[in-house]
Amino acid sequence: MTITIFLGVLLAAMALGVPIAFSLLLCGTALMWHMDMFDAQILAQNVIEGANSFPLLAVPFFMLSGEIMNAGGLSLRIINFAMALVGHVRGGLGYVTIVAAVIMASLSGSAIADAAALSALLLPMMVAAGHDKARSAGLIASAGIIAPVIPPSIGFVVFGVMANVSVSKLFMAGIFPGLMLAVALWFTWWWLVRKETLAPPPRKSLAEVIDALRQATWALVLPFIIVFGLKFGVFTPTEAAVVAAVYALFVSTIVYRELDFRRLVPLFISSAKTCAIVMFLVAASMVAAWLITVANIPAQVVDLLRPMLESPRLLMLAIMVLTMVVGTALDMAPTILLLTPVLMPVVKAAGIDPVYFGVLFIINNAIGLITPPVGTVLNTVAGVGKMRLDEVTRGVMPFMVAQFAIMFAMVAFPQLVMVPARWFY
């Protein structure tokens, strides 16, 4: 009965157009009434404690670093460097998109920020070169979702807090799977453009490549600072977020000199507004998470899935399919906040490594950002590229299928995630 009330109120509120955060508060209140324990003070206390978390401080700083990176010229220099490296081959602009997306993912951790920057800078170039606009937009959207997988990742931070899993280990475990997603996009793009007869841009000279590398060096150094700092315990993930924001600010204002005080103020305000939305969502979800525990819903879910507990791969397959379905209707953050407290007891009961589960769960949620009809990255690319959503959806399909194939390969062969992860951390 408790599961029915929880899901019924949540889905009804969402169907009426109530924002996700308030829907979570409503279903939590309904559960408290059902259990005859309603207390406004408990409700308020859980909301406050939900946002009172040191690891969650990483979220605003990673968001801020992504905003500064795009406005301060780091993204443009990364794309110019990728262009110098692979822009001259057939379909080179597609490979430029993938290389730039991987580098930018290691700077910001935000799929929306990366997709917006790539769309603004590369989509017009790809269309002008003669590439199909829908296919180009689909590649950019698919490349943008690498950001939540390669560290630093806001999704890993939120999942780590909700599941009580080491964020540092999640960061390290996400490196190789993120690169695998990029490789899947690389081969898919190669297959799609193999018969094109478009003339690629001329090959850059060695001097031009070195000059592009020199200009992008300040941006390229940051991923190594973050990865090696986490690996050798120099700083925590939260401190890494502060380092990333301060470093991006220093490079944008002092080195590249593309940001001044007048542009910084609106940038800080925009970042604060976005962060406030995410943090209020996290705070509201803590009410639901606490009541899920009190109502013993995880134990009921474990009982429902008990026949699968003896086959971890089958259980992971079922969870991934469930997450795929939920991801078509919910954004990444709400899906993580809703499913994590319910699924983690099941994962632990089946003996599945929480870090391995976290990586696949975040990959699934990241791909959900490009699944219609709610995919926020799809909408971002469509908005920036001034395209209809159905056009971008058509273009993204082959790339989304390739990324899902990689995810299910990781379900079948957990070593693809855990062996590189153990080496990194």
- Residues 305-341: pLDDT tens digits? 777 778 888 889 988 988 888 777 677 877 888 788 8
- The 3-state DSSP composition of the chain as helix, strand, coil percent (nearest 5) reads 80, 0, 20
Distance (Å) of CA 64 to CA 271, 292, 298: 6, 32, 35
Read off the pLDDT band of 280 (50, 70, 90). Answer: confident
| Per-residue confidence (pLDDT) for residue 177, from 0 to 100 | 94
* Cα 197 to Cα 128: distance, rounded to the nearest angstrom: 14
Instruction: Give which of 135, 130, 140, 57 is closest to 98, Cα–Cα.
Output: 140
| Per-residue confidence (pLDDT) for residue 398, from 0 to 100 | 94
Q: 113 versus 368: which is more confidently predicted? A: 368
Query: What count of other Cβ atoms lies within 10 Å of the Cβ of residue 411?
Result: 20
| Per-residue confidence (pLDDT) for residue 33, from 0 to 100 | 77
Whether 47 shows a pLDDT value over 70: the answer reads: yes
| Per-residue confidence (pLDDT) for residue 297, from 0 to 100 | 64
- Mean of all residue pLDDT scores within the chain: 83
Most confident region among 40-49, 310-319, 372-381 by mean pLDDT: 310-319
H or E element in which residue 367 lies: helix 354-368
For residue 105, report the phi and psi dihedrals to the nearest 5 degrees: -60, -35
| Per-residue confidence (pLDDT) for residue 373, from 0 to 100 | 66
| Per-residue confidence (pLDDT) for residue 295, from 0 to 100 | 67
| Per-residue confidence (pLDDT) for residue 328, from 0 to 100 | 76
Q: 35 versus 135: which is more confidently predicted? A: 135
Read off the pLDDT band of 207 (50, 70, 90). Answer: confident
**91-100, 262-271, 274-283, 404-413: which range is least confident on average?**
274-283
- What pTM does this model have? 0.84
Tell me what the mean pLDDT of segment 133-142 comes to: 92
Whether 9 shows a pLDDT value over 90: the answer reads: no
Tell me what the mean pLDDT of segment 283-301 comes to: 69
* Cα 400 to Cα 145: distance, rounded to the nearest angstrom: 10
Read off the pLDDT band of 374 (50, 70, 90). Answer: low
Whether 183 shows a pLDDT value over 90: the answer reads: yes
| Contact assessment for residue 208 and residue 84, using Cβ atoms and an 8 Å cutoff | yes
Percentage above 70 pLDDT, the chain = 93
Read off the pLDDT band of 50 (50, 70, 90). Answer: low
Instruction: Provide CB contacts within 8 A for 144, sequence distance 6+.
Output: 101, 111, 112, 114, 115, 118, 369, 377, 380, 381
| Per-residue confidence (pLDDT) for residue 143, from 0 to 100 | 93
Most confident region among 78-87, 120-129, 347-356 by mean pLDDT: 347-356
Whether 269 shows a pLDDT value over 70: the answer reads: yes
Dihedral over alpha carbons 39, 42, 48, 52 (to 10 degrees):
-170
Cα three-residue angle 156-159-165, rounded to 5 degrees:
90
